[in-house]
């Protein structure tokens, strides 16, 4: 899809096939979303896979851990999921680079008129919250149905510094293990698993055996996430919910790798 001149911090805007935008990293060039559709990915891979809309009808509060804030599109999809319900979201969002949020703010300003109305509304709300959180010394912002906390820095450090927090949904959306392996390490996945409440769900676009094994070694049930765009499957994890199993040979491969990882702990 089409690339445009860079924004804040040299993040490059990319228009994706569903008309929404993503940003490509200034150094390694990987895009924050699938070029087949950034907004579609946020809605289906994260908000819908974590069953937020369905759970919002029966819960007063849903606590979301958003790993890799980026452009705030996954946050926007989470906000959309609780709209029209009395459920409130409490979101902890973790981002290494302030510049990506600033680039997203510039991008929305520049492209608002080119966006589908629903996306423009949801993304504006998410980015207004993130902008308020950037201005707040404690990184906090409030909306009508959301309390947001933004922690800037390496998630391997910021997440353990919020040990009191537990979550009903986790969006694990780091750059791919090939370019940025840090947030896919078995040690970080253990830290994420530690914060997952009973009944919680984690979703990620990664279908890597090593990532699936890392989640299993962290004590989670791990299953197959559905097709989104051109990506045939992702990964779901939960401390206790039944998930769609992998084909038997792949199950055995994940089990063997998880066993090796447990031996390394």
Ligand X SMILES: C[S@@+](CC[C@H](N)C(=O)[O-])C[C@H]1O[C@@H](n2cnc3c(N)ncnc32)[C@H](O)[C@@H]1O
Which residues in this chain contact ligand X in the complex, by CB under 6 A? Answer: 32, 42, 68, 70-74, 94-97, 100, 154-155, 173-175, 180, 182-183
Q: Between 71 and 87, name the residue whose CB sits nearer to ligand X.
A: 71
- Over the range 212-239, which residues count as b (16 or more CB within 10 Å of their CB) and which as e? bbbbbbbebebbbbeebbebebbbbbbb
Please list the alpha-helical segments (H only) found in 66-168: 73-82, 98-111, 117-135, 155-158
Q: Is 114 left (phi over 0), alpha (psi -120 to 50) or beta?
A: alpha
Q: Between 53 and 172, name the residue whose CB sits nearer to ligand X.
A: 172
The CB-of-158 to ligand X minimum distance in angstroms stands at 7
Residues 6+ apart with CB under 8 A from 170: 50, 64, 65, 67, 192, 195, 196, 200, 201, 202, 203
Q: Between 201 and 254, name the residue whose CB sits nearer to ligand X.
A: 201
Q: Between 192 and 196, name the residue whose CB sits nearer to ligand X.
A: 192
The CB-of-86 to ligand X minimum distance in angstroms stands at 25
Q: Between 33 and 212, name the residue whose CB sits nearer to ligand X.
A: 33
The CB-of-251 to ligand X minimum distance in angstroms stands at 27
Q: Please state, in angstroms and rounded to a whole number, the distance separating the CA atoms of residues 59 and 21.
A: 32
The CB-of-32 to ligand X minimum distance in angstroms stands at 4
Q: Give the residue at shortest CB distance from ligand X.
A: 70
The CB-of-259 to ligand X minimum distance in angstroms stands at 27
């Amino acid at each position: 899809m089409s690339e445009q001149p860079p924004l804040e911090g040299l993040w490059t805007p990319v228009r994706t096939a569903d008309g929404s935008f993503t940003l490509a990293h200034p150094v390694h060039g990987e895009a924050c979303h699938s070029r087949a559709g950034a907004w579609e990915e946020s809605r289906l891979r994260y908000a819908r896979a974590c069953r937020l809309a369905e759970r919002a009808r029966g819960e007063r509060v849903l606590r979301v851990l958003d790993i890799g804030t980026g452009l705030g599109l996954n946050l926007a999809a989470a906000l959309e999921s609780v709209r029209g319900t009395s459920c409130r979201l409490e979101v902890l969002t973790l981002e290494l680079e302030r510049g990506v949020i600033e680039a997203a703010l510039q991008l929305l300003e520049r492209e608002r008129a080119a966006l589908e109305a629903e996306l423009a509304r949801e993304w504006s709300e998410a980015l207004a919250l993130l902008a308020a959180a950037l201005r707040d010394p404690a990184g906090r912002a409030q909306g009508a149905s959301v309390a947001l906390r933004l922690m800037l820095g390496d998630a391997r450090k910021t997440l353990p510094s919020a040990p009191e927090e537990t979550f009903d949904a986790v969006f694990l959306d780091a750059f791919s293990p090939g370019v940025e392996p840090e947030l896919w390490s078995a040690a970080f996945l253990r830290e994420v698993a530690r914060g997952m409440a009973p009944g919680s769900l984690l979703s990620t676009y990664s279908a890597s055996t090593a990532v699936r094994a890392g989640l299993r070694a962290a004590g989670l049930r791990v299953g197959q996430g559905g097709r989104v765009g051109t990506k045939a499957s992702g990964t779901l994890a939960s401390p206790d919910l039944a998930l769609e199993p992998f084909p038997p040979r792949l199950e055995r491969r994940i089990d063997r790798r998880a066993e090796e990882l447990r031996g390394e702990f």
